Amino acid sequence: MNVKLSIKNIALSLFIFAFACSGAWASKLRVITTTNYIASLAQTIGGDKVSAEALSPPGFNADDYSPRPQDLFKVHRAQLFIMIGLNLEDWARDLVNAANNPKLVKAEIYKGIPLMDVPKGHIDYSLGDIHPYGNPHFQVNPEDGRIMAHNIFKALVYVSPENKPLFTKNLADFDKRLSAAELRWKAEMAHYKGEAFIPYHESWDYVAQYFHLIVPDPPKTIEEKPGFVPSPRRVEEVIQMGRDKNVKLIVTEPYYDVSIAETIAKQLGVPCLNISLYDIGINPKETDYISMVDVIVSQFAEALGHHAH
């Protein structure tokens, strides 16, 4: 999509839209994010002083999202734009530039997170869809969730310093609830320490690290190269390595070829989890960041526990 051309063609519509919405949003800090879980964190910390909205709908891969014309309106009207960063959302840079909002403050949530899988040596497209600055799929690790929340807090305070006392209180409340949830999650997953699973994509390394699970390397992932559908030969290799390394679970996401993951799981005789990393809104049990992690941890524990029996 040529967002630069779109903003030029719809300048009049943009003015009309802004005029119509000026009363509805005037009293709140307008925050636009790339994903639902970032919007949820921003809303949690911002409380009733913030109106946070994600561009990428539930069920979409934030890496591959294509901006819509209405997204230009939203970014043009926003005061704060928050993204994951690490060049994950390449589309966001062009969208922000095209939205013609010189007062917009931009923030990235990865700052301060100890990054995994940082490539070494020469990197080019022959290696697949490599993330050159490190693995950006850290959102389910609760320790990283805490860092994300603090980064969002700092961005909100920067844009709206007069509301710092409220943001500080909300951040402390979130941190307290997250700490309590961590105790529950660690207890739930303690039974499966050292168990091995294979993901379709390199999306679950931070989860494995936090809960002391193993992602065997090789195969590391079902994909031979990030972003490329695995060949039949690769599938056979993964099945064999899964047997050799006593893999107990296959994990995929709905925006990849789920049938390949299911085939491998069936051959290994293990469960296959199909979980979206960016969604708050599809599963009614996922209403905020903590409940999102709750659902994911429960699915891991149920699948690993089922296999154990």
The answer to whether the beta carbons of residues 243 and 227 sit under 8 Å apart is: no
Instruction: State both tokens at 41.
Output: 């964190």
In the chain, list all ranges with CATH 3.40.50.1980.
3-181, 184-308
Pick from 35, 97, 101: nearest CA to 65: 35
Q: Which CATH superfamily is domain 3-181 in?
A: Nitrogenase molybdenum iron protein domain (3.40.50.1980)
Question: Dihedrals φ, ψ of 108, to 5°?
Answer: -125, 140
pLDDT of residue 306: 77
State the Cα–Cα distance between residues 39 and 21, nearest whole angstrom: 20
Supply the Cα-derived Rg of the chain in whole angstroms. 21
Q: How far apart are CA 47 and CA 117, in angstroms?
A: 35
Question: In the prediction, which pLDDT does 6 show?
Answer: 44
Which pLDDT score, from 0 to 100, does residue 307 have?
60
Q: What is the pTM of this model?
A: 0.89
- pLDDT tens per residue, the chain (309 residues)? 444 444 444 444 444 444 444 444 458 999 999 999 999 999 999 999 999 999 999 878 888 899 999 999 999 999 999 999 999 999 999 999 999 999 999 999 999 999 999 988 777 766 667 888 999 999 999 999 999 999 999 999 999 999 999 999 999 999 999 999 999 999 999 999 999 999 999 999 999 999 999 999 999 999 999 989 999 999 999 999 999 999 999 999 999 999 999 999 999 999 999 998 887 878 889 999 999 999 999 999 999 997 654
Q: What share of the chain is helix, strand, coil (3-state, %, to 5)?
A: 50, 10, 40
CA pair distance 181, 169, nearest whole angstrom: 18
Place of tokens 């993951």: 261
3-state secondary structure at position 195 = coil
- Residue 160: which residues within 8 A CB-CB, separation 6 or more? 29, 49, 167
Task: Note the pLDDT of residue 120.
Answer: 85
Q: CA-CA distance, 183 to 181, in Å (whole number)?
A: 5
User: The domain at 184-308 falls in which architecture?
Assistant: 3-Layer(aba) Sandwich (3.40)
End-to-end CA distance of the chain: 50
